[in-house]
Each structure stands twice: as structure tokens, then as C-alpha cells.
Amino acid sequence: MNTWRPFSTPDGIALVLPYLNEYTSKQVNIVVKRCGLPVRLIFRPPATLREILTSSRMYENGCDAEECHYCSDHKICHLRGTVYMITCSKCGQRYIGETGRPLKERLNEHRRSLACPQSYPTNCFSKHRTTMHTREPPPLIHVAVLHRHLEHPLERKIMEAREIKRHHPEINGRDELTEALKLIA
């Protein structure tokens, strides 16, 4: 039996591809080797039925805080791998973002930039506070989870880009919008 190894360069960028079959993998290997790309090919098998059915849901258990800012009727603050939409309670403008961390951590960052905009001068929520709500106390935010259980960063970015294209959020910065839309254009 003739064995082969995926193409790999020292200090190459890991390129993880789905393993379809041996023929396709060998052809991809040949093309990448011919191009001389500085990558390490990694062929990953598809998820098994067992892996799909026993996914970890430990961050969906719910919130322990008595007065959580984010969990009203749905327990969302411990979710990971989400695409979410924030709506400003005072003006109704929206922001769409994604995170692989617990949602509560990311939302707390947004709340801090609303509460203290001078500490986060480049943050889009700081800019929103200084342009829209200058002389007012920081506005409350309402959160809606649009997609959940997105483990891979690229998958989250693509879903975020789709939602940005669909909703046209006003708070997202121009750079964020163009970057996101490049993924799906």
C-alpha cells in the first residue's frame, strides 16, 4: 500500500480542508505543492453522527445572576459561538456582531464603551454614544441572538456578513461593514 502525507512547509499557515476521499485529497495536495504556497495542509474528516448528537450545551444552562442585563425570557448570556444584534433603547439603531466567547463577556465590553466612551475612542459604541447621546446617560441595549452554536470563526464571520447585508445596521463602523461584505460578495 502506497501512503502519502499532506503537503507541509516549515512555518506554513494551517489550511484545514474537509476530507472527501483519497483521490480528491491527493489532487489538492498536488495542486498546492505545485503552486508552492506556504501552507500546511490538514485534511479533517467530517463530523460523525455521535459528534453531532452529543454537542456540548453547557453554556446554555442559564444565568446565575439575579438581575442579568441580558437574560430576560431567554437564557443567552452564557452562549458561545453566536451572531447577535444589539438595538439601542433610545434611538433604535442597531449593531450586528459575532463572538466565540460567552456572549455576556462581549456584551459587557459594548456596555463599558457606551458608559465610558473616552476610554474606547475607536469603538463604534463609543462613537454612537458621543454622536447620538452626548448629554444623556448611557442607553440600555436590547440583545437578540440571530445564530448560535457556530464553532468556526469563518462560519461566524460569514453569518455576520449575511445579517449585516440583511439588516443594514447603523452602529457598525464602515470598516466593519466593508470587511464583512467582502466575505459574501
Percent pLDDT > 90 in the chain is 18
Q: Is residue 5 part of a domain?
A: no
DSSP-derived secondary structure letter, 25:
H
Average pLDDT, the chain: 82
pLDDT at residue 112 in the model: 92
Contacts of 98 (CB under 8 A, 6+ apart): 82, 83, 84, 150, 156, 157, 159, 160
pLDDT in tens, 83-136: 999 999 999 999 999 999 988 899 999 999 999 988 888 888 888 988 998 888
* Same domain (yes/no): 104, 160: yes
pLDDT at 58 over 60: no
User: 8 lies in a domain?
Assistant: no
Please state, in angstroms and rounded to a whole number, the distance separating the CA atoms of residues 148 and 104. 14
**Which element (helix H / strand E) includes 144?**
strand 141-147
Task: Return the top range by mean pLDDT from 51-60, 92-101, 117-126, 154-163.
Answer: 92-101
In a domain? residue 53:
no
- Judged by DSSP in three states, 27 sits in helix
Co-location of 41 and 78 in the same domain = no
2-24 pLDDT, tens digit each = 677 777 777 778 888 888 888 98
What pLDDT digit, counting tens, does each position of 67-76 carry? 677 776 667 8
> For the whole model, what pTM was predicted?
0.64
What pLDDT was estimated at residue 36?
Answer: 80
Decide if 3 is inside a domain. no
* Phi, psi of 72, rounded to the nearest 5 degrees: -105, -80
Q: Do 79 and 156 fall within a single domain?
A: yes
Number of structural domains found in the chain:
2
| Cα separation of the two ends of the chain | 44
Residue 42's domain comprises 13-46
Q: Does 42 share its domain with 65?
A: no
Do 125 and 165 sit in the same domain of this protein? yes
59 pLDDT band, cuts 50/70/90, is very low
- Same domain membership, residue 95 and residue 42: no
| Residue 142 domain flag | yes
Residues 31 and 72 in one domain: no
